[in-house]
Amino acid sequence: MYTMTEENVFQERFLRLIGEKSLRQVEKETGITAGALPHYGTAKRSPTGEMLKKLAQYFCVSIDYLLGISDDPQPRPNLSAMSNEELVLKLRNLGYDVKPINPEELRSIPILGRVTAGMKNPIEAIEYIQGWVDTDLPGSVEFALRVTGDSMEPLIPDGSIVFVDKSKTARNGNICVVIINGSDAVIKRTYFDPNGVMLRSENIKCEPAFIDRERWESECRIVGVVVRHQVDHV
């Protein structure tokens, strides 16, 4: 049983997540018994542990978030404690395409310094060879960068290497390496608007940043599109 406070938090968050969705559709896709969902939005019935697990998986949130134990819908996983197999499974469960690399097609490209995932402390874009990394990507991908910060997690964790294609045209929603303030480099999802450019993080805790058209044209530019990223296990 839940306390009254826990029930109220669950009901509020459940109704918010349901939004405009059809209850019948959610019941069908989750396998939850027909007719049970309407009661979860009231005090008439509380979900069982198995139902909580199904709802959490369906809405891509944690059970702790549903119950009000945590305010973070997707707590940061301890990536450093995961094996390669566990990390691949985690990313695939989040909907990302994880592909193995063919060793016979590898070539080495330089890691040119670092790029920040956050807007508060952007890194000055100074190119220097920090190291080398093997890749099977095409020749248009000439360099990689090391990511610092957590604003692109869980997709791109702190310390990841991103591979950048300078020849690729940036489209709405692409993850790009962007120069702001004339010399600082950040990595963000980029959305274009007649009045400017919106830079968005993957981390739900980070607010998007809108750069107006005048500032964008005078102080900012796209270095390239991120076409792949990889997590290094030390």
99 is catalytic: no
Q: Where are the beta strands (DSSP E) in the chain?
A: 107-116, 123-124, 129-135, 141-148, 161-165, 175-180, 184-193, 196-200, 209-212, 221-230
Task: Select which of 53, 188, 205, 218 is catalytic.
Answer: 188
Rounded Cα–Cα distance for residues 32 and 21 (Å)? 15
DSSP strand pairing (129-135 vs 107-116): antiparallel
Task: Select which of 21, 83, 151, 167 is catalytic.
Answer: 151
DSSP string, 9-54: HHHHHHHHHHTT--HHHHHHHHTPPTT-HHHHTSSS----HHHHHH
Rounded Cα–Cα distance for residues 228 and 68 (Å)? 35
Distance of CA 146 to the CA centre of its chain: 17
108 is catalytic: no
Whether 148 contacts 117, CB under 8 Å: yes
Rounded Cα–Cα distance for residues 177 and 161 (Å)? 12
As annotated, the active-site residues are: 151, 188
